[in-house]
Structure 1
Amino acid sequence: MQYQISHADLSLVLALVRGRSLAKAAELLKVDVSTVFRSIRRMEAALGTALFVKSRKGYIPTGTAQALAEQAERAEQALDAARVALEHGEQVVSGTVRLTCTDAVLHSLLLPALAEFMPAYPALSLELATSNTFANLSRRDADLALRLTNTPPEHLVGRCLGAASYVICGREEFRERLTENPASVAWIAPDDAMQDHPTVVWRSEHMPGVMPKYRCSGISAIAQLVSAGLGVAALPDYMAHTLPGVEQLSDPLPGCDTELWLLTRPDCRALRSVQTLFDELTPRLRDALGRQ
């Protein structure tokens, strides 16, 4: 007969994943160390697979243990949401929403917005994933997407929150050389995975003689190289003022303005949790873009 995982089993695995030691797991579960040891061994024997590997760093979870711990965390979140709902009434916003965006949007726009309102929704959880494509949303692996694009997919619905311009950014020491001889400055640009990016198109049209010294797979990585003083790059204006020691060295680049869209699938639009995020993020992200 196949072993039936219980809630106690999930709590046990989650405690050892978090604690990484029998003593810490026992403390979290409020039992003694020998109970944790015997319970894990009994569970491994029943499942017919190892859950943890003992090492100098403690108890390292196997893939199976990690998967069980993730399910245990979801159960934990569901219980927390139920407790909040009982305490505050049925009007509480609860559930888990999966949101995808790029690294650059996450760090420069999304995180400051979330910090303002998420504490007011203790039963609402977010799963954040960074990606440059719409594939995750299309495969139903995400509920919301924040994307810089002028052509949002027709099968998604949402709001345009404004537009970002791109400007040349770098240390002040590069300004004079950039004006006199752009090719004499080290350029940092997207790699071939982003060959259709508007800044790549702009550079090929306006500076065909400039060959990038550094290529990166994302705008956030490009920004880090610029911040380190390695060269100049075209970056969205909402990032320009956030990088220490970096100056805006040009006016907005022609033809590079890109809209920021908050998108979801039609079947998610009526979910209260998704609607709440739409309503909270929309004014904050519009203001953030408008301040540039």
Structure 2
Amino acid sequence: MDWNSLKVFLAIVRHGSLSSAATELAVNHSTIFRRLNAFEQEIGGQLFDRKNNHYELTALGHELLVLARNIEESFDSIDRHLVGKDIQPKGVVKLTAPNNIAYRYLPQYIAAFNRRYPEIHIEVLVSNQAFNMSNRQADIAIRATTTPPEHLVGRQVATLNWSVFASSKYQGQLALPKSCDGLAEHNLIGATGNMARLPAFKWQDKHYLDRITTRCDDLTAMSYLAEAGHGLALLPDDQARPELIKLFSIPALPPSKIWLLTHPDLRNVARIKLVMRYLTTCFAKEWAVAT
């Protein structure tokens, strides 16, 4: 049995579609379709039922999934072990980061890093979602979290307060508030979706629900809504930029903590260690870490 066939099978399981599986494996849709058909012919049974354009496992597929995941973990472990022996400062480093950090901060950091280490090539994966770092979808993750996953290692590189922001397009409608006492007189931008579960937005909904006129599920988009004059936005301080006016911080809210994380098997890889160390320095200069 070809390991590549199992990789195709697992990618389809993860995504539920051929096109998304093709994107993960960097091949085209027809290649995935052909490999799946060949694999099903090889094992003599159907692995998926197609329902509403979604690929769902058959009984045979469920049986294979247990075995395939064990094999995948073994291959991933071997891969991480071998990569962990790499002491040469060259090669590819896959770095995943949330939108704002990827847009606002990483381009200048990476440009300077590339001048120092031209043989290390950084691939940036922009996402707020968790990547599987056991199978090296990403080598390093920048994440805003108070509880980093226990199976990863790293360090906290920044502590960011939550503050209220406005813009010149909103300024002038009413006198801008200097504390939370004045928020009840203003239009506010709130959160929806998973973002609404954050402590800052639970606090906002509890105290100012009737003042929220616009909602959004992305912090960077909220900042642009504020810039356009929709209202005041409650944001972590990494969202600060010249187009926004920072009014005041809210000490009662738990800060946003930025972590730099990797898999334990990869922490001594030369290129990954260099990127981790460099980014730690960059973030320390950008924002002071609370102690």
Distance 1:132 1:198 in 2: 17
Q: Structure with the greater relative contact order (CA < 8 A, sep ≥ 6): 1 or 2? A: 2
Range with greater deviation from structure 2 (248-257 or 153-162)? 248-257
Are the aligned partners of 1:109 and 1:288 in contact in 2 as well (CA < 8 Å)? no
Who is 1:151 aligned against?
147
Alignment of 1:202 with 2:198, yes or no, is no
Question: Cα deviations across residues 47-80 of structure 1 (Å, max 9, x unaligned)?
Answer: xxxxxxxxxxxxxxx946999xxxxxxxxxxxxx
Who is 1:224 aligned against?
224
Are the aligned partners of 1:227 and 1:243 in contact in 2 as well (CA < 8 Å)? no
SS in 2 for 1:155: coil
Who is 2:275 aligned against?
277
Instruction: Output the amino acid matched with 2:201.
Output: V
State which structure, 1 or 2, has the greater radius of gyration over its C-alpha atoms: 1
Who is 1:104 aligned against?
100
- Would the alpha carbon gap of residues 216 and 158 (structure 1) be closer, same or farther in structure 2, given more than 3 Å must change? same
- Would the alpha carbon gap of residues 170 and 151 (structure 1) be closer, same or farther in structure 2, given more than 3 Å must change? same
Distance 1:138 1:176 in 2: 52
Identity of aligned residues (%): 27
Match of 2:286 among 280, 285, 288: 288
Distance 2:285 2:256 in 1: 16
Deviation at 1:209, TM superposition (A): 3.3
Give 5+ residue unaligned stretches, structure 1: 1-61, 68-89
Who is 2:247 aligned against?
249
CA RMSD of aligned residues (A): 3.0
Who is 2:82 aligned against?
none
- The count of residues paired between Structure 1 and Structure 2 equals 206
TM-score, normalized by length of structure 1?
0.62
Distance 1:117 1:175 in 2: 45
Mapping for residues 86-235 of structure 1, pairs under 5 Å: 93-137=89-133, 140-172=136-168, 173=171, 176=175, 178=177, 182-205=183-206, 207-235=207-235
Instruction: Output the amino acid matched with 1:201.
Output: K
Question: Cα deviations across residues 194-253 of structure 1 (Å, max 9, x unaligned)?
Answer: 222232122134x2434532222211111121222222111121322x242x21112234
Instruction: Output the amino acid matched with 2:127.
Output: S
Distance 2:251 2:107 in 1: 26
Runs of 4 or more above 6 Å deviation: 64-67
Deviation at 1:91, TM superposition (A): 8.1
Are the aligned partners of 2:190 and 2:204 in contact in 1 as well (CA < 8 Å)? no
TM-score, normalized by length of structure 2?
0.62
Deviation at 1:150, TM superposition (A): 1.1
SS in 2 for 1:111: helix
Instruction: Output the amino acid matched with 2:204.
Output: R
Instruction: Output the amino acid matched with 2:183.
Output: P
Distance 2:111 2:199 in 1: 30
Match of 1:266 among 264, 267, 272: 264
- Would the alpha carbon gap of residues 272 and 234 (structure 1) be closer, same or farther in structure 2, given more than 3 Å must change? same
